[in-house]
Amino acid sequence: MKFRNNSNPVYFIQENGLISSTQWADGRLIPVVVLNSKNGIELKDFLSAHVSSIDQGDVITQWGYPFSQFFKPKVWILSIQFKKPRTFSFYIEFVLDKNPALIDAIFQSRGLYIRYGFPGEKISKGMDQDMVLIEIPDLKRDEEWNNTLRDILRSRFKKQNIDKKKLKDEVEKQIKKMREILHHRIS
């Protein structure tokens, strides 16, 4: 899916991490992102309203990339549309070179915690802040993501002058290693 510029605000990742809890999702590791933008306060207000509301839930998510990067996207965008407690739509920008592990964690866990904050605000030090867990179901983009991840890792390994014959195996090994920790469940 291609996104054109529209009125929805775009939020950028300031910090990220992973949280696992026995209280949620069979103890799976779920990524957390600290978000901000020029009008970041709108997100802060929304998260606060969401956390204090009884009527939560109903969110529509969709992966895509900017229309201007049709042939070779440098970023992936997650479109999020909340329906409750009020309608609020925004985009989260994931830079492919910087955040491949984070995107992969979202695909593996099918969830994402979002929080408002600033650069340097570590996940572990802001656990008391308003945080919302979003379910990101199977949106039929897994295969596309797997191919994109392989491309990213391949170009990284090429820069590290890894032997071309071993390149494919090294990429697969790296993906397996990345996912080993994500597939761990605490009980």
Partner 1 sequence: MLIIDQNFTMLEEINTFLKDNITLTIIVATISATIAFFVYQISRKKFRFEKAEFENKKPNFVLYLENCYKLQDSKIDDKLLLFDIRITNLSTTKNSVIPKLRIVYFVNNDKSEIVIDHNPKLFTNVSHTNLTQFSKEIRLEDREIKSGWVIFKFPQNLIDKRIDFYQLSIEDGSGNHSEIVCNLLKQIIYEVPKQQ
Residues binding partner 1 (CB under 8 A): 22-26, 30, 57, 110-111, 133, 135, 137-138, 183, 185, 187
| Nearest CB to partner 1, comparing residues 163 and 180 | 180
Question: CA angle, 99 as apex, 94 and 103 as ends, to 5°?
Answer: 75
Q: Measure CA 15 to chain center.
A: 11
Query: Are 89 and 110 spatial neighbours (Cβ–Cβ below 8 Å)?
Result: no
The residues that bridge with 19 in the sheet, in sequence order, are: 30
Closer residue to partner 1, CB minimum distance, 33 or 75: 33
Nearer to partner 1, 41 or 60 (CB): 60
Q: What is the DSSP letter of 180?
A: H
CA separation for the pair 5, 10 (Å, rounded): 10
Backbone φ and ψ of 155, nearest 5°? -70, -35
Nearest distance, CB of residue 2 and partner 1, angstroms: 26
Please say which residue, 44 or 110, places its beta carbon nearer to partner 1: 110
**Residue 110 or 154: which CB sits closer to partner 1?**
110
* Closest distance of CB 51 from partner 1, Å: 15
- Least Å distance, CB 133 to partner 1, is 7
Tell me if 51 sits within 8 A of 115, measured CB to CB: no
Least Cβ distance, residue 75 to partner 1 (angstroms): 25
Question: Can you give the length of the chain in residues?
Answer: 187
Q: How far is the CB of 158 from partner 1 (least distance, A)?
A: 27
The residues facing 36 across adjacent strands are 12
